[in-house]
Amino acid sequence: MSPPTPLLCTLVLLALPFLLEAQGTPAASPAPAAGPDPVAILQGARQYSTLLQLLTTRNLVEEIGNLLKNNRDGLTIFAPTDNAFNNLPPGTLNLLSPDQQTQLLLLHVVGKYYSKDTLSTASNPVRTLATNYTLNFIGGNNQVNVSTGVVNIPVNNELYVKSPLAIFSIDSVLIPPALAGGKAPAPSPSAGGPTAPSTPAEGPTAPTPQPVSGSYRRRRVDWGVLLGAGVAFLGLLR
């Protein structure tokens, strides 16, 4: 074997620093995969515009997104379709205060990931993100229902189910007992409703009769007696 030539030795010495630097530089770690986006999932399904609008109006989109990132237990969302909201009695949402609307929406979110199989094994009542509202999951015959005590509907359509997020499409809005059976406020007096009796137009009015005092009546009697006596006296003179 022939010894290395001076040119080859020079090339090796020149390349050696670059080889050592390449070996010492750690490979860039891959960026963490982005988690599921509930809003993007609902937008892609194209039948949840009412739900998305309400979540945006009540400033819950960012709150739910942050909770999904920071909650180790994940989230389960029951998403009413547009038809579910359309089937509510007219004016139902308008009768609710902004806080009640927020609580109604948070009732549809559970702070834990459930697949359809594990819904039936949940310990009832199940806490939701709403302050005072809970849900019950009732299983049997390969079917799971979600119930508020007022609304009891099957959970069939799995819109997205992959830990840490599960979204189930439902055909009814989950109304809690505290918000069920509300009555519309009494209509204001306007066209189409009973109106108060109209006040008559102002104009000249007849004077109100005043009571006659006793002394005035006595004076009228005294003058009548005197007048009668005078007439009788004149008759005698004739």
Binned at pLDDT 50, 70 and 90, residue 180 comes out as confident
Q: How far apart are CA 103 and CA 108, in angstroms?
A: 9
| pLDDT higher than threshold 60 for residue 90 | yes
The CA distance from 7 to 15, in Å, is 13
Q: Span 178-196, mean pLDDT?
A: 46
Token pair for 65: 């997104």
pLDDT of 4-47, one tens digit each? 676 665 665 666 556 556 565 555 555 556 689 999 999 999 89
Q: Take residue 81 and report the two structure tokens written for it.
A: 């379709």
For domain 38-177, which CATH number applies: 2.30.180.10, 1.20.140.10, 3.90.1300.10, 3.50.50.100?
2.30.180.10
| Domain locations along the chain | 38-177
pLDDT digits (tens, 9 = 90+) for 47-79: 999 999 999 999 999 999 999 999 999 999 999
Q: How far apart are CA 209 and CA 218, in angstroms?
A: 19
Asked whether the whole model's pTM tops 0.85, one would answer no
- pLDDT for position 140: 83
The pLDDT score that the predictor gives to residue 65 is 95
pLDDT value of residue 67: 94
pLDDT at 23: 61
How large a percentage of the chain has pLDDT more than 70?
Answer: 62
> Could you tell me which residue, 231 or 110, shows the higher pLDDT?
110
At 159 the pLDDT is 96
Q: pLDDT tens digit string along 112-147? A: 999 999 999 999 999 999 999 999 999 988 899 999
Average pLDDT for 148-157: 95
* Cα-based angle 161, 50, 66 (whole degrees, multiple of 5): 50
Q: What local confidence, expressed as pLDDT, does residue 20 receive? A: 55
**β-bridge partners, 78:** 168
pLDDT of amino acid 11? 61
The token pair at 74 is 């994940």
Which pLDDT score is estimated for 230? 44
- Average pLDDT of the segment spanning 153-180: 95
175 Cβ contact list (under 8 Å, min separation 6): 104, 148, 150, 151
Q: Which two tokens stand for residue 209?
A: 């009769």
Mean pLDDT of the chain: 77
